[in-house]
A and B are shown apart, each in its own frame.
Chain A
Amino acid sequence: MSVQYAYDGSFPGVLCALCASLGGRERPFDIVSEREFQPALLAPTVPVTTDDERAGRFMERIATVMGRRVRRTLVRAFLSDLPGREMLLYDYLAFLRDRGPRGDACLTHPAVAPVRDLARQVTVEAHRLTGLVRFTRVGDGLLLAVMEPRHLVLPLIAPHFTRRFPAERWVMLDVGRGVGLYWDTKDLHEVESGPEVTRLLNRPPDDPQGDLYEKMWRRYFRDIAIPERRNPHCQRRFMPVRYWKYLTEKR
């Protein structure tokens, strides 16, 4: 009888679940995170213990056997954070296991297409946000960026900003998920939403007049458009309305 795997919701966790399930020939009934877990009537539940080392080895193996591209696809599809992605990952890897690494080129195959598609969506959003993230000054030179992305892109975009602003201290918050990253000019730290973060969010700006550069940016944004060429449709296509809430120029 096929079983249901329950893991802790983390990436190493899902890797351990995938590793365990791919060893057998039978397709599991489901792989669910504890967060979404509900006992299934027809399938016994197998809890998966997360073992970082084992997960790391599994990733390495995927990279050597299937190629680094597959590993990248796997990471990004997982970060889509969409419910049900675990079984898509399973089908993808099971297909590659049977077909060999070249199976990844079967772009239209039902086991490959959805996963690559998810990975692409995540990549697109991450790339978009590297441009759309806005920092504000919140005192003592600290820069704060708040966002509410569809996918869990924070770990993907943070390296871009550590490279770009290595000498600044900054915090990036995904308020939808209540997670964040803090760069102290040397290391990245994970921060969770809590009173500390709330205080940061509600902190009055350095200058009670409002930030002069924010003001100038808003004005610049308005003036740079050529009125004879107005094209709100095009604007929304590239900069979907769901991001506007945190854009300085659109607030």
Chain B
Amino acid sequence: MDIEKKMQILGAAAKYDVSCSSSGSRRPTPQGGSGNGVSAGICHSWADDGRCISLLKTLFTNVCIHDCAYCVNRRSNDIPRAAFTVDEICELTMEFYRRNYIEGLFLSSGVMRNADYTMERLTLVAKKLRDEHRFGGYIHLKAIPGASRELIRQAGLHADRISVNIELPTEKSLLLLTDKKKDDIMLPMGEISTAIVENRDERKHLRSAPRFAPAGQSTQLIVGATPENDHQIVRLSEGLYNHYGLKRVYYSAFVPVSSDNRLPALATPPLLREHRLYQADWLMRYYGFAAGEILDDRTPFLDEEMDPKSAWALRNMHLFPIDIQTAPYESLLRVPGIGVRSAQRIVIARRHSRLGYGDLKKIGVVMKRAKHFLTVGGRMLLPGSGRPLRLIRRDLVTRAMLEPSRQLSLFPA
């Protein structure tokens, strides 16, 4: 089979993997080679579904010994199969990179023969790119569930990022839809996380120690294939950030790829729900929110009509209004309509002058929402705002840009 044909089968097969981030790694160009890591990451294109393309995201092979119900590559699915050679992937990566199509490679794979055999191939690709092609660009490798410790350690020495996909939020779901066990996933994840921490320590003492996955570890969760609620998902993510030191958790709205009766029959992927989960995730990573503040047992699902910060503010009106001149940065961040950038700019600008409605607008604050939560000199920033709750709510609701998504009623009981 020629490389073009393989590319047609395998290139698109990785499209359900969400991560395309090329950030978090600064790597100089190797002597006589090509490519470097830019820590902010660079997007090279945007596909027709609006997602950024930063990496050549491909499978090494779509042959797989497993039979996960939600996956196109499952053993029982009747589709054409192919496998690249190590050299073919290296060639493709280099040629795409040179034309400035990509920041690097994201290599995932079905499980061919067994976990270790597959993991070895992936590691070999990374090693060849680094050693023979003197490639300094970004490499993201998938750790194959069940692969041995040594291989994962090897992979991390050449890759910028490694990830293991959790896919399903609970072990119950995992057992229902796959033949994998929790340990197949959590053990490699723990291994990577330990290796990253050890490596960081090592490099403190020895600058020349080789780096292990400098851009960290990430994972992906499928949303809407199983009955878990948002509270469970957000709590899981919080745990992954705090205890496994993950850089990113990606959420992927379930796209039906089979008519397996263990899966829900969704008309469309739950995109709005995915969007709200990303917003909640953002609040945990950049706004200092804890999972328990965003959702709890009484409100197990994110509000579809408004973003999670607005929903939180509405439940916590007793904390507002706050004063624009004196409120600490952390409190400004919690005001609906104020983002990280505008909060920073407010803190700078208020040192020099008293801010008014017009200034905040120029700074980039969404006043329609923020006006209900801010005072200046003891008075509401905009007289008449701040109550009643019904009017505040009206201003906080974002037009649902996407279809309603929570169709759990369709779930087979």
Count of A interface residues, CB-CB < 8 Å: 53
Partner of B349, one of A105, A127, A213: A105
Picked from B12, B50, B352, the residue with its CB within 8 Å of the CB of A220 is B12
Q: Chain B residues near A226 (CB, 8 Å)?
A: 15-16, 49, 255
Query: CB-CB < 8 A to B4: which residues of A?
Result: 212, 215-216, 219
Q: Is B227 interfacial (CB-CB < 8 Å)?
A: no
Contacts of A227 in B (CB 8 A): 49
**Interface bits A217-229 vs B (CB < 8 Å: 1, else 0):** 1011111111111
| Contact of B96 (CB < 8 Å), options: A143, A217, A223, A229 | A217
Binds A, one of B36-44, B154-162, B385-393: B36-44
- The interface residues of chain A lying within 8 Å CB-to-CB of B286 are none
Whether B32 sits at the interface, judged by CB under 8 Å, is yes
Q: B53, A224: Cβ atoms under 8 Å?
A: yes
Q: Decide if B100 touches A220 in the complex (CB within 8 Å).
A: no
Q: Does A133 contact B (CB under 8 A)?
A: yes
Known: A219-B8, A233-B50. A228 touches B348 (CB 8 A): no
Let me know if B243 is at the binding interface, CB within 8 A. Answer: no
Interface range, B side:
35 or more
Q: State whether B49 touches A229 (Cβ < 8 A).
A: yes
Q: Using a CB-CB cutoff of 8 Å, which residues 144-161 of chain A contact chain B?
A: 145, 160
Residues of A within 8 A of B3 (CB): 216
In the assembled complex, B183 has its CB within 8 A of some CB on chain A: no
Residues from chain A with a CB closer than 8 A to the CB of B358 are 108
Contact with A224, one of B33, B57, B253, B345 (Cβ below 8 angstroms): B57
Q: Is A166 an interface residue (CB 8 A)?
A: yes
Q: Does A167 contact B (CB under 8 A)?
A: yes
- Are A220 and B11 in contact, CB atoms less than 8 angstroms apart? yes
Q: Which residues of B contact A (CB under 8 A)?
A: 3-4, 7-8, 11-12, 15-16, 29, 32-36, 38, 42-54, 56-57, 92, 95-96, 98-101, 253, 255, 268-269, 271, 345, 348-349, 351-353, 358-359, 362-363
Q: Please provide the 5 A-B residue pairs with the shortest distance between their CB atoms, ordered closest to farther.
A: A234-B50, A223-B12, A231-B50, A225-B48, A229-B49
Please report A residues at the B interface, Cβ cutoff 8 Å.
102, 105-108, 113, 127, 130-137, 143, 145, 160, 163-168, 212-217, 219-235, 237-239, 247-249
